[in-house]
Structures are given as structure tokens and as C-alpha cells.
């Protein structure tokens, strides 16, 4: 028994010892494993940057476990500490509560939340992402403890927000943005890139940047070289997917990696094609006239200044031609501004063509053009050019297939260095000379001289005086007889206007009629002339001289403005003169200023029974075709041709041709300015109908002329 007891006790001891040994061995092993695990946990905790938390729901106690570096040996310490529940941001509280409840109810196996907390209570909110789950329940199965991890995601969230903003910015940028790899292949593009280049992201990605190269210019490789620099910007022509060339402003930035090597390139492109075009257009507008495409005043001044500098250096001459279209206002008024514009364009072309492409023709506005002539051998060459320009206007300007119009220029010339040294003065003097050309009868040129300034002043004074000329009764008419070569008697007279001013004395019509036309006063003056002439005619017939005809000169302005036929009808009625006794004289240029309007006004006059004569025939450019269309009765050969009869065979030929031509159109042909018996004889021999001139009689006062008309005139047969 004892032995058995002993054996049992011994066995028990051994078993206990074995168990003890085992326990110890396992305990020792467990201790090692536990320590290793704790180490792993510490490192993992530190490495993950997470915090462990443990929350007792009943006691509302929170424990935090956190790994921190300690000391210089970088040993890690895990600290577990009781913590106060951090303050949750008011905006995030409801969602946090909702998520927690869902987990506690068992709806969600995991509790997750991302919310803002203020751990220090100092208003410094940080974002925490929290994961956890129930780790302990009470006997009734209700959750008692939760544990899990938490992590500060503030920096991530900021980075995220930045990324979102950046990508949104890229999406909404109007500039094309492309990211290229080190081989300059596309790795990313934004929507604006697609819009500007026409390549979608799918089409662009992986392809080389050189696909945008502009053809032929090889800029791509140049661009590639430039791209090797880290920053570069400039304007480059590129080709869109559809082949259209666009000018792009390119900004390039190389993005170096940590080692300083450029692995990516960001290229920002903006399409500046339109902008450049607009700039060019602006520059063009600033320097060129939009209507005629000629240089404008500012470019002219620049070129003139440069021409002067050159001439000064080389000792040459510069001429400025100031050109104004005659009676352009009437073209504008009667035909409308659209037609006026077409006339200006056609005139611009004609001037440029006449002077040649090597000289600058500019439009200063309105109907004023300026020509700068450089490299003149002698100043007289400027006059040759002016003559050429005037001759170039002899042919009508064609406005379109059906319409043409004849206009003429008056030209003033000033010279460097003779008249002035600076552009403004030269232009001013050329302008003055142009006015003189107008005063000299238009369709001509004048070279500036200092005395012109005096003339211009006189003109201004005269213009002022002219305003009151009718009311002051300073005007009068003189009458020059017209002699019929068929009937050998005086058949009528031409009324010629005279102006006698107390201060300036007698002023010739060639001086003041252009002035009256320019100021519009010719309307009032012209009406006075018509009335006065008809009154005289009436008096003559009362004195017993019946059947005489009276010619009255009418200006282009009277034809274009107002209602000439109505005025005539009224005056004829007032004075009781038979319409057949009256004849209007119009110069060719007056009729040609606007052939269409002239024709209709003259028709209306003819309907009244009034005759119509072309005055100064041969000096203008009227073609037979025009004359045929006009309701004319009389042709007056200009005294320029008559004066040289018997001396100049050319003038003789012209005169005899005009007589024949007039007769072929059933017109009465009158020769003006007949001063010699020889001239008269020639005219009689060639069948001219009537003559007028000092050989018969000069112009006379009304009474004197009446006496002349009353006695028979002896003219050699």
C-alpha cells in the first residue's frame, strides 16, 4: 500500500514536475513570443502612423495607444494613456453618431468614420479617419467595448483637395495644357488642348509633340531643342489636326525629379492667331485708309519725313502733290454716299496708276489725296506728273459694269527744299497751291508760290464780301452780241456777270464764280442773273427789238442742286419772256459732273422751251456719245481754238471738225472770241452758224447794247 502510495506520489510528482517544466517551457516560450509580438506591434504601429484606441462604452473611458520615437537611439515606445474624448466638429457629429449606432445595432460589422476633431481644444481642427469594432459584450450581448485604429488624414485631405482643384483648373483652363514625357510624347492633355489642336486625348496620348509641327518650316526640331531648356516661351506656328495653321504662344516648363533630371515637360499653348490678326488689322487701320487701302495721313507724314531726310542727305528734291477732286460734294449729294465711295476708290486707283507704284499716294480724308514724289531730277518733273494725273482723269471712272463718271482733280504742288523744310509746311503749301488751281478754273495744277498766301487771304475776304453782294446790289450784267453768219445780223446776246465792289473795284467772274460755287452762294446769284437777263430781254422787246435771244451762263451747282426748271418757269412767268428766247450755257465739265442728273434737268428745261448750249466746247472731254444723249440745241466752240485760227492748222482742223460734228447732231454752232476778220472768214467758209467776239463787239451795259442792237452792224461779207 505504502509502495503503491509512494509510486502514485512519485508519479504525481513527476507529472507535476513535467507539467511544471512544460508550463515553464511554454511560459518562457510564450514570454519570448509575446515580447516579439509586442515589438512587431510597436513597429507596425509606428510605421502605419495609426493610433490604437479602446473605448469603454459604460464608463465612457477612452484609452489611446501610440508608438513614438524616443531618444537618440530611435528606440520606439508604446504609450497607453487614458484620454479625454476629443471634441468633434459640429458639422460631423450627426454622421459620426449615425455610423456608431449602425455598428452598435449590428447593421454594420465595422465602425468607420472620417471626421474633424479638436484634440487640444484650441480651435485647430484635424481630420481623423477611425476604424473599429466591438471587442467585448455584456452577458446580454450588448457591446461594452470598442477598439480600433485612428489616423490623422488632414494632410491627405488637403493634398486630395489640391489635386481635385488642380484637375478642375486644368479642365476649365482655356489654354491647352499637355504633359510630355522625356521623349516629348504626350502623356496627358486637357480639354482645351483638344479644342485648340483638334486632337482628342486618345489621339494625342503616346504620340510625339512634333505632330503639331507646322509644315515646311521645320520649327518642330527647333522647338525640340528649345524644349531641352528647362523654361522656354515664344510664339510658334502649329498645325491643327484639320491642317489649319495656328499661331500659338507656347510656355514650356521642364519638371525635374529629385535628382534634377527632367522627366516631364508641361507645355501650355494659347491660340493667338486671331489676336495677331486683330493686331495686324489695328496696325493697318492706324496707317491705311479703310476705303481706298491707300496710306493715310499718319503714314504719309512718316514717309514724307523719311523722303525729306533722304533728299537732304543726297541733295535731291521732294515734291508734294495735293489733289482734290473737283465738285466731289455734288457727286456725293446727288448720287449718294455709296456711289461717292466707289468714285473715291476708282480715283485712288487712277492716281496711283498715273504716278506709278514707286511713289506714295495717300488719302487724307474726303476727296483729298496726296502724292509724294521722290528722286526728282528737276522740280519741273513734278509738273509732268501732275499733268499725267490730270490726263489720266480724262477717261471716265467706271464704277461698275454699267456706270461710269467723269471727275477731274485740281492739284497743288509744293517742293522741298524750295518751299519748305518740314512735312507739315510742305503739305500746307501744296494745299494752298491746290486752292489756286481750283480758282484757276479746276482740272489744272499750280505750283506753290509765296504770293499765293496773299491770294488765299484775298479769297477769304472776297468770300465774306460775296455773301452780301446781292443785297448790296453790287452785281450787274453786261451783254455781248451774237452775230449770225447766215443772216448777217445780230440775233441775240450773252449775259455776262460783273461784280463791282467799293473796296476791291471790279472783280472778274473767273475770280469770284468759283468762290460763289464753293460757298453755295451761286444759287442765289445764279437766280439773280436769270431774272436780270430776262428783265433786260423784256425791256428790249418793249423797246421794239423782238425775236432776240439771250444766253445765260449757268453753273454746275445750279444744275445739281435745287430745281432749275421750276426756277426758270417762275422767272419766265414773272418777266413775261417767251421761253424760246432764252438759252442756258453750261460748260462741258458742269454737264459731265453728273451726266444722269444733267440729262434729266436739261430735259425739263427743254420741255419748257428753253434752249441749251454747251459752252467752251473742246476743252473738256465730252464724247459724242454723251452729247447725243443730252437735249442740246447749241455748241459753242471755245475761244482757245478760235484764237489760233489762220495760225495753227491743228486748231483749224479741230474747229472745222466740231462744226461738222455739231451740224450732224442738228446743233447751232457758235464760235466765241472772234477777234479778226481772218477768223471770221474761216468760220464762215466752214459753215459756222454764229460768231461772238470783240471783232463784232465786246460786252456792253444794257443801254449801250440796246443802242448797238438797234443799228445795223457792218461785217465784211
Task: Count residues near ligand C2E (CB under 6 A).
Answer: 21
Least distance in Å: CB of 274 to ligand C2E? 56
Question: Between residues 324 and 616, which has the closer beta carbon with respect to ligand C2E?
Answer: 616
Task: Give the span between the Cα atoms of 57 and 103, in whole angstroms.
Answer: 13
Question: Between residues 432 and 639, which has the closer beta carbon with respect to ligand C2E?
Answer: 639
What residues contact residue 551 under an 8 Å CB cut-off, 6+ apart?
482, 492, 493, 494, 495, 583, 584, 585, 613
Contacts to ligand C2E from residues 533-562, by CB under 6 A = 553-555
Q: For Mg ion, which stretch binds (CB under 5 A), given 306-314, 483-491, 503-511, 582-590?
A: 582-590
Does residue 558 belong to the site contacting Mg ion (CB under 5 A)? no
* Among positions 585, 588, 689, 690, the unique one binding ligand C2E when judged by CB under 6 A: 585
- Helix or strand holding residue 41 (H, E): helix 2-48
Does residue 553 belong to the site contacting Mg ion (CB under 5 A)? yes
Least distance in Å: CB of 385 to Mg ion? 29
Least distance in Å: CB of 475 to ligand C2E? 9
Task: Give the span between the Cα atoms of 712 and 420, in whole angstroms.
Answer: 60
Least distance in Å: CB of 616 to Mg ion? 4
Q: For ligand C2E, which stretch binds (CB under 6 A), given 40-48, 109-117, 399-407, 668-676?
A: 668-676
- Output the DSSP codes for 658-688: HHHHHHHTT-EEEE----SHHHHHHHHHTT-
Least distance in Å: CB of 467 to ligand C2E? 17
Question: Between residues 331 and 533, which has the closer beta carbon with respect to ligand C2E?
Answer: 533
C-alpha cell at 163: 489635386
Does residue 496 belong to the site contacting ligand C2E (CB under 6 A)? yes
Contact partner, 31, from Mg ion, ligand C2E, none, Cβ < 5-8 Å per class: none
Contacts to Mg ion from residues 645-674, by CB under 5 A = 672
- Output the DSSP codes for 333-397: HHH-HHHHHHHHHHHHHHHHHHH-TTSEEEEEETTEEEEEEEEESSTHHHHHHHHHHHHHTTSPE
Binding mask 273-312 for ligand C2E (x = CB under 6 A): ----------------------------------------
Question: Between residues 197 and 436, which has the closer beta carbon with respect to ligand C2E?
Answer: 436
Does residue 532 belong to the site contacting Mg ion (CB under 5 A)? no
Does residue 583 belong to the site contacting Mg ion (CB under 5 A)? no
Does residue 675 belong to the site contacting ligand C2E (CB under 6 A)? yes
What residues contact residue 413 under an 8 Å CB cut-off, 6+ apart?
319, 320, 321, 322, 382, 383, 386, 430, 433, 445, 446, 447, 448
Does residue 588 belong to the site contacting ligand C2E (CB under 6 A)? no
Name the residue among 673, 687, 674, 669 with its Cα closest to residue 715: 674
Does residue 689 belong to the site contacting Mg ion (CB under 5 A)? no
Binding mask 628-647 for ligand C2E (x = CB under 6 A): -----------x--------
Contact partner, 529, from ligand C2E, Mg ion, none, Cβ < 5-8 Å per class: ligand C2E
φ/ψ region of 716 (left if φ > 0, alpha if ψ in -120 to 50, else beta) reads: beta
Does residue 510 belong to the site contacting ligand C2E (CB under 6 A)? yes
Question: Between residues 622 and 639, which has the closer beta carbon with respect to ligand C2E?
Answer: 639
Does residue 113 belong to the site contacting ligand C2E (CB under 6 A)? no
Question: Between residues 340 and 662, which has the closer beta carbon with respect to ligand C2E?
Answer: 662
Question: Between residues 321 and 497, which has the closer beta carbon with respect to Mg ion?
Answer: 497
Does residue 190 belong to the site contacting ligand C2E (CB under 6 A)? no
* 236 contacts 219 by C-beta, under 8 angstroms: yes
* Residue in the block written with cell 461698275: 400
* Among positions 184, 693, 702, 705, the unique one binding ligand C2E when judged by CB under 6 A: 693
Least distance in Å: CB of 299 to ligand C2E? 40
Least distance in Å: CB of 312 to Mg ion? 47
What residues contact residue 72 under an 8 Å CB cut-off, 6+ apart?
none
Does residue 585 belong to the site contacting Mg ion (CB under 5 A)? yes
Least distance in Å: CB of 711 to ligand C2E? 20
* 249 contacts 235 by C-beta, under 8 angstroms: yes
Contacts to ligand C2E from residues 595-624, by CB under 6 A = 615-616
Three-state secondary structure along 223-273? HHHHHCCCEEEEEEEEECCCCCEEEEEEEEEEEECCCCCEEEEEEEEEECH
Does residue 690 belong to the site contacting Mg ion (CB under 5 A)? no
Q: For ligand C2E, which stretch binds (CB under 6 A), given 64-72, 622-630, 647-655, 670-678?
A: 670-678
Task: Give the span between the Cα atoms of 110 and 104, in whole angstroms.
Answer: 9
* 572 contacts 609 by C-beta, under 8 angstroms: no
Least distance in Å: CB of 472 to Mg ion? 25
Beta-strand ranges (E) seen in 450-522 are 475-484, 489-501, 505-507
Question: Between residues 423 and 673, which has the closer beta carbon with respect to ligand C2E?
Answer: 673
Q: Which residues pair with 636 in a beta bridge?
A: 670
Local structure of residue 407 (DSSP, 8 states) = -
* 614 contacts 586 by C-beta, under 8 angstroms: yes
Least distance in Å: CB of 702 to Mg ion? 18
Q: For Mg ion, which stretch binds (CB under 5 A), given 156-164, 463-471, 578-586, 626-634?
A: 578-586
* Among positions 50, 367, 374, 615, the unique one binding Mg ion when judged by CB under 5 A: 615
Least distance in Å: CB of 548 to ligand C2E? 18
CB atoms within 10 A of CB 173: 15
18 to 10, 11, 26: CA distances (angstroms): 12, 10, 12
What residues contact residue 271 under an 8 Å CB cut-off, 6+ apart?
176, 196, 246, 247, 248
* 143 contacts 135 by C-beta, under 8 angstroms: no
Contact partner, 693, from ligand C2E, Mg ion, none, Cβ < 5-8 Å per class: ligand C2E
Furthest C-alpha separation in the chain: 204
Contact partner, 673, from Mg ion, ligand C2E, none, Cβ < 5-8 Å per class: ligand C2E
Q: How many secondary structure helices (H) and strands (E) does the chain include?
A: 24, 28
Least distance in Å: CB of 673 to Mg ion? 8
* Residue in the block written with cell 445750279: 558
Please enumerate, as own/partner, the contacts of 538-546 that have beta carbons within 8 Å and a separation of 24 or more. 538/575, 538/576, 538/577, 539/702, 539/706, 540/706, 540/709, 541/577, 543/706, 543/710, 545/706, 545/709, 545/710
Contact partner, 178, from Mg ion, ligand C2E, none, Cβ < 5-8 Å per class: none
- What is the spatial order of strands in the sheet that 143-152 belongs to? 75-83, 61-70, 51-56, 143-152, 126-137, 111-118, 87-88
Least distance in Å: CB of 499 to Mg ion? 16
Q: For Mg ion, which stretch binds (CB under 5 A), given 312-320, 553-561, 602-610, 653-661?
A: 553-561
Least distance in Å: CB of 354 to Mg ion? 28
Question: Between residues 308 and 533, which has the closer beta carbon with respect to Mg ion?
Answer: 533
Name the residue among 482, 506, 517 with its Cα closest to residue 587: 517
* Among positions 673, 700, 702, 706, the unique one binding ligand C2E when judged by CB under 6 A: 673
Question: Between residues 352 and 639, which has the closer beta carbon with respect to Mg ion?
Answer: 639
Q: CA 99, 104, 107, 110 torsion: positive or negative?
A: positive
Contacts to ligand C2E from residues 696-715, by CB under 6 A = 699
Residues in contact with Mg ion by the rule CB under 5 A: 553, 585, 615-616, 672
Residues in contact with ligand C2E by the rule CB under 6 A: 480, 496-497, 508-510, 513, 529, 553-555, 585, 615-616, 639, 672-673, 675, 693-694, 699
Amino acid at each position: 500500500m505504502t509502495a503503491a502510495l509512494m509510486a502514485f506520489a512519485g508519479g504525481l510528482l513527476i507529472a507535476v514536475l513535467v507539467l511544471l517544466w512544460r508550463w515553464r517551457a511554454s511560459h518562457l516560450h510564450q514570454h519570448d513570443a509575446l515580447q516579439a509580438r509586442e515589438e512587431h506591434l510597436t513597429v507596425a504601429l509606428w510605421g502605419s502612423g495609426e493610433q490604437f484606441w479602446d473605448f469603454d462604452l459604460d464608463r465612457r473611458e477612452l484609452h489611446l495607444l501610440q508608438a513614438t520615437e524616443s531618444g537618440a537611439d530611435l528606440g520606439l515606445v508604446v504609450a497607453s494613456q487614458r484620454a479625454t474624448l476629443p471634441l468633434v466638429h459640429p458639422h460631423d457629429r450627426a454622421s459620426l453618431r449615425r455610423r456608431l449606432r449602425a455598428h452598435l445595432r449590428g447593421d454594420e460589422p465595422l465602425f468607420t468614420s472620417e471626421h474633424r476633431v479638436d484634440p487640444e481644444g484650441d480651435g485647430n481642427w484635424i481630420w481623423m479617419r477611425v476604424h473599429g469594432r466591438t471587442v467585448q459584450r455584456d452577458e446580454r450581448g450588448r457591446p461594452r467595448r470598442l477598439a480600433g485604429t485612428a489616423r490623422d488624414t488632414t494632410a491627405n485631405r488637403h493634398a486630395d483637395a489640391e489635386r481635385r482643384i488642380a484637375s478642375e483648373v486644368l479642365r476649365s483652363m482655356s489654354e491647352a495644357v499637355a504633359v510630355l514625357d522625356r521623349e516629348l510624347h504626350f502623356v496627358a492633355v486637357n480639354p482645351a488642348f483638344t479644342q485648340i489642336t483638334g486632337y482628342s486625348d486618345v489621339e494625342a496620348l503616346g504620340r510625339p509633340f512634333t505632330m503639331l509641327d507646322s509644315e515646311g518650316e521645320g520649327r518642330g526640331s527647333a522647338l525640340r531643342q528649345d524644349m531641352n531648356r528647362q523654361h522656354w516661351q515664344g510664339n510658334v506656328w502649329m498645325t491643327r489636326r484639320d491642317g489649319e495653321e495656328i499661331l500659338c504662344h507656347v510656355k514650356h516648363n521642364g519638371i525635374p525629379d529629385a535628382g534634377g533630371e527632367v522627366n516631364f515637360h508641361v507645355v501650355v499653348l494659347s491660340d493667338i492667331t486671331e489676336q495677331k490678326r486683330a493686331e495686324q488689322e489695328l496696325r493697318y487701320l492706324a496707317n491705311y485708309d479703310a476705303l481706298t487701302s491707300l496710306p493715310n495721313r499718319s503714314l504719309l507724314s512718316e514717309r514724307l519725313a523719311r523722303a525729306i531726310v533722304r533728299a537732304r542727305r543726297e541733295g535731291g528734291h521732294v515734291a508734294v502733290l495735293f489733289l482734290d477732286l473737283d465738285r466731289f460734294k455734288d457727286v456725293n449729294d446727288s448720287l449718294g454716299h455709296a456711289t461717292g465711295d466707289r468714285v473715291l476708290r476708282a480715283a485712288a486707283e487712277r492716281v496711283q496708276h498715273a504716278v506709278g507704284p514707286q511713289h506714295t499716294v495717300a488719302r487724307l480724308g474726303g476727296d483729298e489725296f496726296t502724292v509724294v514724289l521722290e528722286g526728282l531730277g528737276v522740280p519741273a518733273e513734278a509738273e509732268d506728273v501732275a499733268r499725267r494725273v490730270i490726263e489720266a482723269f480724262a477717261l471716265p471712272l467706271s464704277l461698275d459694269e454699267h456706270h461710269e463718271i467723269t471727275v477731274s482733280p485740281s492739284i497743288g504742288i509744293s517742293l522741298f527744299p524750295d518751299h519748305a523744310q518740314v512735312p507739315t509746311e510742305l503739305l500746307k503749301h501744296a494745299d494752298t497751291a491746290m486752292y489756286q488751281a481750283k480758282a484757276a478754273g479746276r482740272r489744272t495744277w499750280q505750283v506753290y508760290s509765296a504770293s499765293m498766301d496773299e491770294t488765299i487771304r484775298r479769297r477769304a475776304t472776297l468770300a465774306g464780301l460775296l455773301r452780301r453782294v446781292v443785297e448790296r446790289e453790287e452785281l450787274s450784267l453786261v451783254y455781248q452780241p451774237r452775230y449770225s453768219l447766215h443772216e448777217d445780223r445780230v440775233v441775240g446776246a450773252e449775259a455776262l456777270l460783273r461784280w463791282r465792289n467799293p473796296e476791291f473795284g471790279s472783280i472778274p467772274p473767273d475770280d469770284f464764280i468759283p468762290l460763289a460755287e464753293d460757298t453755295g452762294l451761286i444759287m442765289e446769284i445764279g437766280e439773280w442773273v436769270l431774272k436780270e437777263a430776262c428783265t433786260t430781254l423784256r425791256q428790249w422787246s418793249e423797246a421794239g427789238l423782238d425775236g432776240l435771244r439771250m444766253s445765260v451762263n449757268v453753273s454746275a451747282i445750279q444744275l445739281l442742286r435745287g430745281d432749275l426748271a421750276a426756277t426758270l418757269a417762275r422767272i419766265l412767268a414773272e418777266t413775261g419772256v417767251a421761253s424760246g428766247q432764252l438759252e442756258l450755257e453750261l460748260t462741258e465739265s458742269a454737264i459731265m459732273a453728273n451726266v444722269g442728273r444733267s440729262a434729266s434737268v436739261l430735259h425739263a428745261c427743254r420741255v419748257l422751251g428753253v434752249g441749251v448750249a454747251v459752252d467752251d466746247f473742246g476743252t473738256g472731254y465730252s464724247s459724242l456719245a454723251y452729247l447725243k444723249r443730252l437735249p442740246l440745241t447749241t455748241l459753242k466752240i471755245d475761244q482757245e481754238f478760235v484764237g489760233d485760227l489762220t495760225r495753227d492748222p491743228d486748231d483749224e482742223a479741230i474747229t472745222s471738225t466740231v462744226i461738222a460734228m455739231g451740224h450732224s447732231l442738228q446743233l447751232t454752232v457758235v464760235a466765241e472770241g472772234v477777234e479778226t476778220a481772218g477768223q471770221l472768214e474761216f468760220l464762215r467758209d466752214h459753215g459756222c452758224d454764229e460768231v461772238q467776239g470783240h471783232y463784232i463787239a465786246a460786252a456792253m451795259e444794257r443801254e449801250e447794247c440796246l443802242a448797238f442792237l438797234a443799228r445795223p452792224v457792218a461785217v465784211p461779207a
